[in-house]
A and B are shown apart, each in its own frame.
Chain A
Amino acid sequence: MAIFTIDDVEKTFKSGDVSEKILKGVDLALNEGEITALVGPSGSGKSTILTIAAGLQKATGGQVLFEGKDMTQMSQEEIRKIRSSEFGFVFQSSHLVPFLTVEDQLLLMLDVAETKLNKKQQKQEVSKVLDLVGMSHRKDAYPSSLSGGEKQRVAIARAIIHQPKMLFADEPTASLDSKRSKEVMEIIRNLTKTLKITTLMVTHDEEMLPYADRIVMMKDGLIE
């Protein structure tokens, strides 16, 4: 069953008089609980379709259906609500909040997602998730004192702590060496499988492909 459907999505960027059609009618259906890897040459539009799907930018044509509802017709506020409670994000950089400890980063996400947990439950949830990503021992550390791989693990924890339905990841391992990349991918795979999170992930790295359930190739603004 497809929980998320991208239907004939187009995106045209205009700068001045020049307009360039980057996405030329992308169709893609994501099955619940599956990890879909999106691969393809640089500039083919992978990040663009991922951010449109994640509600971070608007398509110029087509539909994006999440649980049957068309996100292209929603208001900014409706999309924000979905992003905060139903989606999780991991990017090439971890983008952690510099002045919050690892634990506080996750508590913040629980607040933003408006989960109905009290303070104590929130803390329990945080320590549970930190265990899952193997970062419990650094819960009081600030991002500046973490290694790249550790940061990325915290970013993953932040992306899934509020138990979203969807996880969007754009080259989550690109800043990591091969060993760390594999660790991070293991974590992503284990978490999304246990929590039944549907994942769309862009990657350049062939070594990451075995972790996906499905591989989709993109070229020149189209799915092949």
Chain B
Amino acid sequence: MQMAWKEVKKSKMKFLILGSIIFLVSFLTFIISGLANGLSEDNAALIKNVPNGQFYLNEDAKQTYNLSKIDVDQQDKLLADYNGATAMSIQMGFVNDTEDKQHSVAFVTSTDSELFPNVKDNEVVLDASLKDEGIKVGDILTNNQFSGEFKVVGFTEKQTYSHAPVAFISMKNYQEIYRVMEMQTVFIPGSDSPDSIKGLESFNNKEFLNTIPSYGAEQMSLNMIIWFLVVISGMLFAIFFYMMNVQKIGLYGILKAIGVKTISLFSMMWYQMLLITAVSLVLSVGLSQVFSMVAPAGMPFSLPLETSLLLSGVFLVIGFIGATISGFQIKKVEPLQAIQQGEM
């Protein structure tokens, strides 16, 4: 181990280069992962904030909540049968503020529930992001499908849906705007193994998220970039250690000749890999956390520490595999060849 450290000390430049590559790639990965997560929050915080459970949609709805209608009698029965069940609907729409400026929102309504604010008729609770657009408590909002007016009675934190702020309204108002009596979905919390209910199809939270148009596609492309970066960094590791090992074939041969165990040579490489990766990851985790604090407010960015740590773990594993694969050359080195290859 001492030998590994002494090499790092002596060949600072080489290891500095490797370290900065790992730092850059992992930092980029963290940033993209923060964006993916931020966009996902932006797109679906409303659903992501709901505890685990099952969303039931009408079987005829072709897995699209927009097309789903739950029969009113069935809804009443479900709400009575299941503790904490909530019937709800979501529709994209607009509100006009006092200056007649239009704001795009996602109207959400639900039966009485602990999950969402309970709103009286002609009142609205908005996502706090609309504060930035100049809306205050007490403002009067209108909607051209709605005969009455909404009075802003409060704001909620981080309630967005399909990249739009959520506007919670009463069921009666909702039914008037969208001219529909039925709710789209019934949410039943906590059931891991969903009860099958006649005429309805169940989705867990994650499955329901994927019924949001654009959510699946958006997350898929971002996740693909993330895994691409992870794989690329794995290959970078392998290539870098491969080149380093090729340079050191002669040295490995001599060390083997004087009786150093192959496993000690591998440990030397692992130690160096872990050292360099750990230092680079600490830096990039730190920097990405700083970035997440100073990121502009409008930028959907969310990078929980757990996510960075999880990704760091993946990097370590990938680096280990990459280095080990490239280390197979060490195993093949014949001490004799090295000796016959003149001065190093």
Residues in chain A within 8 A of chain B (CB atoms): 47, 51, 56-57, 80-81, 83-85, 87, 89, 91-95, 97-100, 104, 108-109, 112-113, 142, 158, 170, 175
Within 8 A of A (CB), among B300-344: 335-336, 338-340, 342-344
Q: B259 contacts which of A51, A99, A113 (Cβ < 8 Å)? A: A113
Whether B77 sits at the interface, judged by CB under 8 Å, is no
A56 in contact with B335 (CB, 8 Å): yes
Closest to B8 in A: A99
Q: How far is the CA of A170 from the CA of B260 in the complex (A)?
A: 20
Chain A residues near B261: list those with CB within 8 A: 80
Q: How far is the CA of A48 from the CA of B335 in the complex (A)?
A: 13
Given contacts A51-B339, A95-B339, 4 further A-B contacts (CB under 8 A): A89-B339, A99-B11, A112-B260, A158-B258
Chain A residues near B198: list those with CB within 8 A: none
Closest to A97 in B: B251
Whether B200 sits at the interface, judged by CB under 8 Å, is no
Chain B residues near A112: list those with CB within 8 A: 255, 258-260
Given A97-B254, A98-B344, A80:B259 Cβ within 8 A: yes
Q: How far is the CA of A94 from the CA of B338 in the complex (A)?
A: 12
Q: How far is the CA of A111 from the CA of B254 in the complex (A)?
A: 15
Chain B residues near A56: list those with CB within 8 A: 257, 335-336, 339
Closest to A48 in B: B336
Whether B10 sits at the interface, judged by CB under 8 Å, is yes
Report B268 CB to chain A, min CB distance, Å.
11
Report B185 CB to chain A, min CB distance, Å.
65
A97 in contact with B255 (CB, 8 Å): yes
How many residues of chain B get a CB closer than 8 Å to chain A's CBs? Answer: 25
Report B252 CB to chain A, min CB distance, Å.
10
Chain A residues near B342: list those with CB within 8 A: 92-93
Residues in chain B within 8 A of chain A (CB atoms): 2-3, 6-7, 9-11, 250-251, 254-261, 335-336, 338-340, 342-344
B257 in contact with A99 (CB, 8 Å): no
Chain A residues near B3: list those with CB within 8 A: 97, 100, 104, 108
Report A174 CB to chain B, min CB distance, Å.
11
Q: How far is the CA of A91 from the CA of B336 in the complex (A)?
A: 11
Chain A residues near B335: list those with CB within 8 A: 56
Given A93-B344, A97-B251, A83:B257 Cβ within 8 A: yes
Chain B residues near A100: list those with CB within 8 A: 3, 6
Given A81-B259, A98-B251, A112-B260, A93:B343 Cβ within 8 A: yes
A83 in contact with B339 (CB, 8 Å): no
Report A211 CB to chain B, min CB distance, Å.
22
Q: A83 contacts which of B251, B259, B340 (Cβ < 8 Å)? A: B259
The interface centre, meaning the residue of A84, A113, A158 with most chain B CB atoms within 10 A of its CB, is A84
Q: How far is the CA of A56 from the CA of B259 in the complex (A)?
A: 10
Q: A142 contacts which of B2, B10, B344 (Cβ < 8 Å)? A: B10
Chain A residues near B2: list those with CB within 8 A: 104
Chain B residues near A95: list those with CB within 8 A: 250, 254, 338-339, 344
Chain A residues near B7: list those with CB within 8 A: 99
A51 in contact with B336 (CB, 8 Å): yes
Given A93-B342, A95-B339, A83:B10 Cβ within 8 A: no
Chain A residues near B340: list those with CB within 8 A: 47
B339 in contact with A91 (CB, 8 Å): yes
A57 in contact with B254 (CB, 8 Å): no
The interface centre, meaning the residue of B250, B251, B258 with most chain A CB atoms within 10 A of its CB, is B258
Closest to B259 in A: A84
B6 in contact with A85 (CB, 8 Å): no
B343 in contact with A83 (CB, 8 Å): no
> What are 18 residue pairs bridging A and B, where the CB atoms are less than 8 Å apart in the complex?
A83-B257, A83-B258, A84-B258, A84-B260, A85-B259, A92-B342, A95-B338, A97-B3, A97-B254, A99-B9, A99-B10, A99-B11, A104-B2, A104-B3, A104-B6, A109-B258, A113-B259, A158-B258
Report A199 CB to chain B, min CB distance, Å.
17
Chain B residues near A80: list those with CB within 8 A: 256, 259, 261
Report A120 CB to chain B, min CB distance, Å.
16
Q: How far is the CA of A113 from the CA of B335 in the complex (A)?
A: 17
Q: How far is the CA of A100 from the CA of B256 in the complex (A)?
A: 16
**In the A-B complex, the 7 residue pairs with the closest CB atoms:** A84-B259, A99-B10, A93-B343, A95-B254, A99-B7, A83-B259, A56-B336
Closest to B251 in A: A97
